[in-house]
Structure 1
């Protein structure tokens, strides 16, 4: 397959890097020429436009910062969609919008997959991230070889749009975990606990989580560099709220999270690292939530391995 990749930011640059590293024929496009040049230096080709990538490639992957940008890129590519072409959307986006755009691609004879990732930029960098894929089964089988290069655990979630719903659910849970970790660490400091000891107590207990094992470390280091910004958190929990509203589910916690991050953006800026949301508590208490011995950024120390499909548990047939 010839693969086009549009969007070379924090996540897209790493996902495309896994394809390039594993000798896939990749053509890249991004509005930032420096990001394109970096990918070309690794072995990619440089594309001239989104439309050209759809014309010349079998699969075009998009990994973009907002649903509006994705919609604009798809509109540019649509005239070049033909039978056999595949659009694979790896952005975190709105499930209603992905269904709308996917239907336009399918109406022209192509196939569409919503394919968000989860697990952090450090795992995207090594090809060990998890990937959700929403599409018909036949399309999933066609793209699975590419997905197992970019990720380790691949889950077919059902029809298009289903992966995006599950991704914003996952990101909502990660945000709730982040806020609870910032509060727990601040209370530990306020109670006079050694923060290194507090980190380990949480890590080996029922209070542990993926977020604690990763983001609490860069919080305690003081860098707060998780390669994810406050505006992206606000977008994701806003998308989760939209799913809940459409489903008629009244939420109590998520509106609080939305308010916390709106305040964080007002105080520190939309592009502030998301983990610096703890500064609200540091400023309120006068405490410094840092401890020695923790890394400035997360690095995946698991070796890169070929991915595989995650099989959903089902009840045995009678």
Structure 2
């Protein structure tokens, strides 16, 4: 199976790297040549255009920073829709809008393609190690065809129902993670004002009923001063 991957940013580049490490026949594309270079050096082919990739690949994956970017990659001249052939799977791994992924999915289906929305959850470090969670919404048959590809990128994979359902759940989980992060910031600030050592506070939370995935990952970058979680406010 030949895979095309468009969008090699904070998460996309790491997901594409997992595909390459697992021996997938991979073609990649990004507007930033610096993002393409490491994967090309590791053996990936470089796509001439989204249309050319759609014409030559069994699966086209998009992992882009916004619904507008996905719209442009699919609908602009020489976009995915221009090259799509019947039976090709479009896997939308961007964090996107349910209505927009359904709209684009209808255009893909109109060309005989099979749309699946496949947002991920777990952060860049899990994307880099192939241990990220993946939600997948779409027809069951398309999901089953895509599953070996998803397993090369993640370990916890859930078929969530029809197209768009995965995008809804991704936003819900982002909401929960953000609420958890805000409460952790309040807790750490309270502990500091009470004179507690924050490293000790971190460990106390980690072994307590107040622990969470967000605490174990994001609290570390708060305490080490970097505050860089490779995640945008838009998401």
Q: TM-score range by the shorter chain?
A: over 0.9
Structure 2 CA distance for aligned equivalents of residues 165 and 155 of structure 1: 13
| Aligned with 2:168 (options 157, 160, 165) | 165
Residue 71 of structure 1 aligns to a residue whose secondary structure is helix
- Please give the root-mean-square deviation of Cα atoms over the aligned residues, in Å: 0.8
Residue 154 of structure 1 aligns to a residue whose secondary structure is strand
Contact 2:50 2:83 in 1 (8 A): no
Equivalence map 1:41-80=2 (5 Å): 41-75=41-75, 76-80=79-83
Q: Residue 40 of structure 2 corresponds to which residue in structure 1?
A: 40
Deviation at 1:108, TM superposition (A): 1.1
Out of 77-86 and 171-180, give the one that drifted further: 77-86
Deviation at 1:209, TM superposition (A): 1.0
Q: Residue 148 of structure 1 corresponds to which residue in structure 2?
A: 151
Q: Which runs of 5+ in 1 are unaligned?
A: 237-318
Q: Residue 240 of structure 1 corresponds to which residue in structure 2?
A: none
Residue 134 of structure 2 aligns to a residue whose secondary structure is strand
Structure 1 CA distance for aligned equivalents of residues 117 and 142 of structure 2: 11
Structure 2 CA distance for aligned equivalents of residues 135 and 65 of structure 1: 21
Deviation at 1:200, TM superposition (A): 1.3
Q: Residue 19 of structure 1 corresponds to which residue in structure 2?
A: 19
TM-score by length of 1: 0.72
Deviation at 1:225, TM superposition (A): 2.1
Structure with max Cα Rg: 1
* Partner deviation per Cα, 1:96-133 (whole Å, 9 max, x = no partner): 00000001100111000000000110000010100000
Structure 2 CA distance for aligned equivalents of residues 112 and 164 of structure 1: 13
Q: Which runs of 5+ in 2 are unaligned?
A: none
Q: Residue 91 of structure 2 corresponds to which residue in structure 1?
A: 88
Pair 1:183 & 2:222 matched: no
Structure 2 CA distance for aligned equivalents of residues 217 and 80 of structure 1: 45
Structure 2 CA distance for aligned equivalents of residues 81 and 227 of structure 1: 32
Deviation at 1:79, TM superposition (A): 2.0
| Aligned with 1:204 (options 188, 204, 207) | 207
* Partner deviation per Cα, 1:270-296 (whole Å, 9 max, x = no partner): xxxxxxxxxxxxxxxxxxxxxxxxxxx
Q: Residue 120 of structure 1 corresponds to which residue in structure 2?
A: 123
Deviation at 1:223, TM superposition (A): 1.3
Which 4+ runs in 1 deviate beyond 6 A?
none
Deviation at 1:53, TM superposition (A): 0.6
* Partner deviation per Cα, 1:54-82 (whole Å, 9 max, x = no partner): 01111100000000010111112112122
Q: Residue 130 of structure 1 corresponds to which residue in structure 2?
A: 133
| Aligned with 2:225 (options 222, 234, 247) | 222
Structure 1 CA distance for aligned equivalents of residues 172 and 215 of structure 2: 18
* Partner deviation per Cα, 1:192-219 (whole Å, 9 max, x = no partner): 0111111111111121111001100111
Aligned residues between the structures: 232
